[in-house]
């Protein structure tokens, strides 16, 4: 087999990956039985010879007339430390690897990269890019003169800062901001009033300006779950909340945390076919359908049927089964 051909030969790479994953000696006959009829003993020995060129500590030896693959030392490991820039640049090359999708050489690397990504979610390049894209889309929904307010509020949330919000000619309120979400189809700020330390919900369109409070010592009175419960309580009043269940074909391609969409009590499991089943409490609105539309090639709504029907009506631009709220 030509040297370059080895790289894209599925059987060659399947054997190589299997040999690399062994943790104890194994008979050649038993190993070939594991692979199936397509792979012969000489195929395994060819790959073993290739791996020996890298000093891989596995040799073919005779035992009682049978050939065994026996370890002669500790398997080598390749460690690589990356700076943030190097890791982001590496992630940027992931789409190029998709050209080999379906090949064993791709599966070997893709599995490993998914584990590394899972260990470092704070450095997820594509999640940040998707959030920025969502932000850019959102900017088209709000007046130009309110974009600065949104940016200042998001920055305050990120840095746990206090804000003084002007909501009228003589109306001001000092708040500790927590989340910007769509509620009843309207972009809203969830915060706590620092005066009475209670949760408040302010429609974004009512916020005229914001002033950063420097050098404060205020400590948040509510934690993440309490904030989520507050949002769900508001939804229960409006009656817009549904428990959405979707089948996801490629979870690695789907952003399940879209910006400004509150997905309450999310849950992920797999069915007997290995498909991902995702569920969350959502607010049925035009914004929700826009998000589902952006990932519709990777998902299928399973339940509730009314939401599935409304989404299909949304796609076909027919009259929905019930009025949809549109964000201000």
Q: What is the DSSP string of 200-267?
A: EEEEGGG--EEEEE-S-----S--HHHHHHHHHHHHHHHT-EEEEEEEES-GGG--SS-TT---EEEE
Hey, what domains does the chain have and what are their CATH numbers? 3-71 (1.10.10), 84-123 (no CATH), 134-236 (2.30.30.100), 242-316 (3.30.70)
Place of tokens 């302010």: 202
Q: What is the pLDDT of residues 83-92, one digit of tens each?
A: 999 999 998 8
Q: Give pLDDT, residue 323.
A: 43
Length of the chain: 328
Q: Give pLDDT, residue 71.
A: 94
Handedness of CA 87, 88, 92, 98 (dihedral sign): positive
Query: What is the value of pTM for the model shown?
Result: 0.46
pLDDT-based confidence at residue 315 (cuts at 50, 70, 90): confident
CA angle 56, 59, 62 (to 5 degrees): 175
Percent of the chain with pLDDT over 70: 89
Query: Closest Cα to residue 9, out of 34, 36, 46?
Result: 46
Alpha carbon of 319 to those of 107, 141, 324, 328: distances in Å? 45, 22, 10, 20
In whole numbers, what is the pLDDT of the chain averaged over residues? 83
Query: Closest Cα to residue 159, out of 180, 176, 181, 138?
Result: 176
| Interval 189-207 mean pLDDT | 88
Could you tell me where the DSSP H helices lie in the chain?
Answer: 3-8, 10-21, 28-35, 41-52, 84-92, 94-97, 104-119, 125-139, 147-159, 224-238, 286-294, 305-316
Rg from Cα positions in the chain: 28
Q: Give pLDDT, residue 25.
A: 93
Assess whether the previous peptide bond of 304 is cis (omega < 30° from 0).
Answer: yes
Longest dimension (CA), the chain: 95
Alpha carbon of 57 to those of 22, 34, 35, 54, 70: distances in Å? 11, 21, 21, 9, 8
């Amino acid at each position: 087999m030509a040297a370059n051909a080895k790289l894209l030969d599925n059987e060659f790479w399947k054997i190589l990956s299997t040999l690399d994953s062994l943790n104890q000696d194994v008979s050649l006959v038993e190993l070939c039985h594991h692979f199936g009829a397509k792979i012969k003993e000489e195929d395994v020995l060819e790959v073993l010879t290739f791996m020996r060129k890298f000093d891989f500590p596995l040799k073919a030896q005779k035992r009682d007339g049978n050939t065994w693959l026996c370890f002669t030392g500790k398997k080598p490991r390749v460690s690589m430390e990356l700076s943030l820039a190097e890791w982001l640049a590496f992630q940027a090359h992931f789409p190029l690897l998709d050209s080999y999708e379906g090949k064993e050489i791709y599966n070997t690397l893709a599995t490993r990269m998914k584990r590394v990504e899972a260990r470092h979610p704070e450095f997820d390049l594509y999640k940040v890019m998707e959030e920025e894209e969502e932000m850019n889309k959102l900017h088209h929904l709000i007046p130009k003169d309110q974009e600065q307010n949104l940016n200042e509020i998001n920055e305050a949330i990120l840095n746990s800062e206090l804000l003084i919000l002007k909501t009228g000619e003589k109306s001001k309120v000092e708040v500790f901001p927590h989340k910007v979400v769509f509620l009843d189809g309207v972009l809203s700020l969830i915060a706590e009033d620092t005066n009475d330390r209670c949760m408040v919900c302010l429609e974004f369109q009512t916020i005229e300006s914001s002033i950063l409070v420097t050098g404060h010592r205020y400590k948040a009175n509510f934690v993440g779950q309490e904030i989520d419960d507050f949002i769900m309580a508001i939804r229960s009043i409006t009656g817009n909340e549904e428990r959405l269940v979707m089948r996801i074909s490629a979870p690695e391609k789907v952003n399940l945390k879209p910006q400004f969409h509150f997905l309450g009590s999310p849950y992920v499991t797999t069915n007997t076919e290995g498909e991902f089943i995702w569920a969350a409490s959502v607010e049925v609105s035009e914004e929700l359908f826009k998000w589902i539309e952006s990932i519709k090639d990777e998902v299928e709504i399973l339940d509730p049927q009314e939401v599935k029907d409304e989404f299909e009506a949304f796609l076909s631009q027919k009259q929905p089964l019930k009025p949809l709220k549109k964000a201000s």
